[in-house]
Structure 1
């Protein structure tokens, strides 16, 4: 284990006193450093050399990396110098070299990353043949990597891969990796794409204003568009629409493009014109004109607020195929306004993969329940029963629909001696703990940890995962402990999933401002996973991720002077965070769902999203939050709060305790 009295990289002990002997390692001083206390064994000393090798990794000094690789041969981290060396000129490496690395370090985190990065590099260079031998060594691809792999497969003879990715990239208008755009370009020439597929892509790209993609698609369809005309429409969509022709296919394309541009800049004018524009055009064009206004209105709520006409426009567009994006917005807008038949139609239009998600199963049941016939109500109950076996947000909602409470968790699995023995021998977890022990860069630590959890998950080894989570918890490494404990399949330990560090502080400060400590814990778990030093990209800090401006406001409200360093203090961060949560709850009708949304997105936005006419069920409010981050945030905090209610012994739990109807704005 690491010498706990020594901070190796600063050359100081934990009290901050400079040591008489500097513990900066060099190749020649490895043995001396071990004796001096920079590591208790040669293996630990060579672990400590990781940071020095890392500093060299960007210098281009291959010879020195070779020396570090030799010196670190007793370390579980020994593959890093070689990885850095290969990564310096990755695009120039022969595929055999990458394959050799992957075979010597099988199923390892950095072999996975090296292989995936190599495939992406070769795809960017158009060298698909060199990438092909490496594909089998990429087993956990992200979106960009998956699209790069699919390009290689398509270019080396596997044309059926295009069908696998059709729903993923063909109709996507949100920003996506360039490798996915490249895959979509390959699809343009594929005979697997039907004339209907091509028309749908053309209309979708026109609606989104993706003129380049639309231009390419129209050319492939034999109905070329003019970029000059599209630029003129972009500059003045209203002027074009006032006298737009509707005769030929190109006219119809320009019409969709112009209406989309108008809806994006002036939704109300687009709504006022769509009925007239939809007259005298083919049925599929008519449907897509309504789709265009409905979709753009549904995705610009931050600018335009909610509009009750949009679900009906989606209804008018039904019959023309929906993209996955469009189906979700259709469902969400219909949920917001309680248009339950629209919800059913929207979910019916989704892909099979979407339909399998618990959220859409839940909403299909909610919509079916509104029908008057006994069969639909019975179906809803059956779906709720299935979803209620899960302990996630939608499972808790389903429990509430069934009027089921819960006050305890399944019996906690305690890791055994055998589990800990496997943990000690597991090279993936060894690497993660070794990196943690030497304060390596966080991205390397987390990559190795997450990879280790994944490998244990693939082996269905819940015991190993929970042993790792327990060891991490004992170290105060809560974020990775939670990551691990969340991923067990059959054996669970909710104390490790929902830890309660700083319990007396959290409970006392929560009670002092009259908020539920379970809610405070639920928010804190989502914000920082109990990492005191957590910092967001926008400057929020600490356990409750408080923005500096918010901290200044809270300090002023509490009659204190603001200290920028105070947010790093556990006590101050929790005190400020619970006070601010209570403050915005008071501003937002005392409602915990509104306050949770306000904590993430700001209280003014949460207030704007309240219904304007009548009260709205809290699950409808949460699902219609227009910011994805905030939408997911509210769901996770509600879920966490319920489970912390059990952890803190608060008796029977129902998510309805927090998720009661949202009052209308006044």
Structure 2
């Protein structure tokens, strides 16, 4: 490395010391976890229900001694399978959630036999598969994996590939296809990467890609664990930490002519791009001569991705320099979005054609591919793309239908008989779910409810949804009706409970009730006492500070304990939505985004515009995944609610409108 280049990085490193990246650590999370455990144990449970909830919390904390003590106090509890499960589970995992290889197999087998066919048995089998996989007991693992119904755990899937590899199968391609979401890797997938690397089924380049993918998403500890698969070629932790936290300092050391040195430099570029794509671009330009063509392309892809998340207009130019190099799933999709933002339909088409097959089949990319084909002079090919999804009742299906010249209408309603509804009252899983919902244990309740829906036909699903509505489990009514394929009842899919209160509050602030309903359906699914992890509450999921602010603005006394009161929540929520709508000059896209992410963020996103863009493109390029999905779902919901309320065809595209620069 030249002296001049070394000096450049030393100067930059000194200049950016205060802005250096911070690695993820587990210390804060562990401290919070311990604090949460202490809080759970401060209240002494008295009633059987309180003891049961305390038992469940002990099981989540993997506190086997306390779970056993609490379970002994519930000899005749109405859902004994859960009492037993919550006693067994903490014997399978340690306090950090890692599987214990000495879990009690005989106890587990007895439970699975006793509760065969139930949701809770499948849940325990999922847990046991993690133990068996860590133990590398492939004979038992394979026997149990064949019985695992949901098969929705990435770690378990990684262990399943390890089992196949242990029998001599080549599973490297399947592993690469599976390893796309680092947040779900856990012990199982790290173990698989190590095993397949040792067997030469994953190359060092594959391992480095996974390290970079983890660091790209800020899973630094995971990245270091994956690095163990490099064996003798693994850089020491000091160098990995330097690349992650002090990338300019790492580059200032110079680049040696070794794979590890070049890959560390690329990792440093990846991390630098999270903080400053422009600096990463300048840095990659300086070191490009030391990298292979593929490594340079990977670096430009990382820079393009981080720039796209910042809505930087240079993002597409950086992406272009990445060619067709392998990128993470998020980076691939943001390449399309960067092209959409730039209005370059040729680049949109090219980027979609480069997507992984698993992504290209998503309705989002089918729709935008159709748009790209239409914009580049291929109307018949575009029509075929739109026809693929125009019968889907979602945001992109609606847009595709409109692209074909249609309007959004409500499909014919299929009704069910009272006898069909009444038959749902004695479904065992529903009865268990109702008990769990009464204790506000929605995770467990949803598992029981959804388990019973697996084999239902459309008529049965509608009967189950109608039953849920009759007992005011409105979220289950909506979610259950959403599952039907050919028979529909949109009065269940798009319920309108509390209608008089809603229409009264919406009318008072001249707010479209369809929009308010569309928002509530997305926010809380009509769960009155819904509470989010960040403190939002009630039907319209108001934050405490927002509720106080709105109450003060409209001149009412506000008691925080009233946030779950239907009338109070609707009063404050509709007023807040109206305020945001007026702030954004009547843009439903900006206002919906502001309701979810706070008003300042949509203002910032709008400020990056250099030209007017259609609302669908603005929504598609919202850089927060949660907010992007939220806006699309809210406005899709709103369009159906408007069709139900008015009885007239609607246009989602018209609601999306155009977003103009500030």
TM range (shorter): 0.7 to 0.9
Q: Note closer, same or farther for the CA distance 1:285–1:51 as it changes in structure 2 (3 Å cut).
A: closer
Q: CA offsets, 1:182-203, max 9 Å, x none?
A: 3333332243335764564466
Q: What is the deviation of 1:158? A: 6.8
Determine the structure 1 residue equivalent to 2:460: 464
Q: What is the deviation of 1:510? A: 1.5
Q: Note closer, same or farther for the CA distance 1:161–1:467 as it changes in structure 2 (3 Å cut).
A: farther
2:53–2:439 Cα contact (<8 Å) kept: no
SS for the counterpart of 2:282 is helix
Greater shift after overlay, 257-266 or 244-253? Answer: 244-253
2:529–2:537 Cα contact (<8 Å) kept: yes
Separation (CA, whole Å) in 2 of partners of 1:469 and 1:646: 21
Determine the structure 2 residue equivalent to 1:369: 374
Determine the structure 1 residue equivalent to 2:150: 140
1:589–1:663 Cα contact (<8 Å) kept: no
Q: What is the deviation of 1:339? A: 2.6
State how 1:141-156 maps to structure 2 within 5 Å.
141-147=151-157, 149-150=159-160, 153-154=163-164
Separation (CA, whole Å) in 2 of partners of 1:562 and 1:61: 40
Which of the numbers 379, 382, 395 marks the counterpart of 1:380? 382
Which of the numbers 396, 399, 409 marks the counterpart of 1:397? 399
Determine the structure 2 residue equivalent to 1:5: none
What is the root-mean-square deviation of aligned Cα atoms in Å?
A: 3.2
Q: Note closer, same or farther for the CA distance 1:576–1:192 as it changes in structure 2 (3 Å cut).
A: same
Q: Does 1:187 align with 2:228?
A: no
SS for the counterpart of 1:164 is helix
SS for the counterpart of 2:274 is helix
Determine the structure 2 residue equivalent to 1:451: 451
Q: Does 1:512 align with 2:508?
A: yes
Separation (CA, whole Å) in 2 of partners of 1:208 and 1:468: 40
Q: What is the deviation of 1:367? A: 1.5
2:204–2:230 Cα contact (<8 Å) kept: no
Which of the numbers 553, 563, 579 marks the counterpart of 1:567? 563
Q: Note closer, same or farther for the CA distance 1:87–1:267 as it changes in structure 2 (3 Å cut).
A: closer
Greater shift after overlay, 486-495 or 322-331? Answer: 322-331
Q: What is the deviation of 1:574? A: 0.7
Determine the structure 1 residue equivalent to 2:598: 602
Q: CA offsets, 1:192-220, max 9 Å, x none?
A: 33576456446656767859847965974
Separation (CA, whole Å) in 2 of partners of 1:132 and 1:249: 37
Separation (CA, whole Å) in 1 of partners of 2:166 and 2:239: 38
Q: What is the deviation of 1:383? A: 1.1
Separation (CA, whole Å) in 1 of partners of 2:596 and 2:291: 45
Q: Note closer, same or farther for the CA distance 1:414–1:313 as it changes in structure 2 (3 Å cut).
A: same
Q: What is the deviation of 1:529? A: 0.9
Q: Does 1:82 align with 2:91?
A: no
Separation (CA, whole Å) in 2 of partners of 1:541 and 1:146: 35
Q: Does 1:623 align with 2:628?
A: no
Greater shift after overlay, 271-280 or 582-591? Answer: 271-280
Separation (CA, whole Å) in 1 of partners of 2:426 and 2:655: 45
Determine the structure 2 residue equivalent to 1:483: 479
1:334–1:340 Cα contact (<8 Å) kept: yes
Q: What is the deviation of 1:377? A: 2.2
Q: CA offsets, 1:106-151, max 9 Å, x none?
A: 3211101111112223444555555443223321133345346426
SS for the counterpart of 2:150 is coil
Q: Note closer, same or farther for the CA distance 1:289–1:234 as it changes in structure 2 (3 Å cut).
A: same
2:255–2:290 Cα contact (<8 Å) kept: no
Q: What is the deviation of 1:221? A: 8.4
Separation (CA, whole Å) in 1 of partners of 2:265 and 2:87: 55
Determine the structure 2 residue equivalent to 1:16: none
Determine the structure 2 residue equivalent to 1:652: 649
Which of the numbers 639, 642, 646 marks the counterpart of 2:636? 639
Determine the structure 1 residue equivalent to 2:8: none
1:336–1:624 Cα contact (<8 Å) kept: yes
SS for the counterpart of 2:659 is coil
SS for the counterpart of 2:146 is helix
Q: Which has the larger radius of gyration?
A: 1
- TM-score, structure 1 length as denominator? 0.81
State how 1:322-333 maps to structure 2 within 5 Å.
322-333=327-338
Q: How many residues align?
A: 600
Structure 1 unaligned residues grouped into runs of 5+: 1-23, 26-48
Q: Note closer, same or farther for the CA distance 1:319–1:78 as it changes in structure 2 (3 Å cut).
A: closer
- TM-score, structure 2 length as denominator? 0.82
Q: Note closer, same or farther for the CA distance 1:281–1:192 as it changes in structure 2 (3 Å cut).
A: closer
Separation (CA, whole Å) in 1 of partners of 2:519 and 2:225: 47
Determine the structure 2 residue equivalent to 1:101: 111
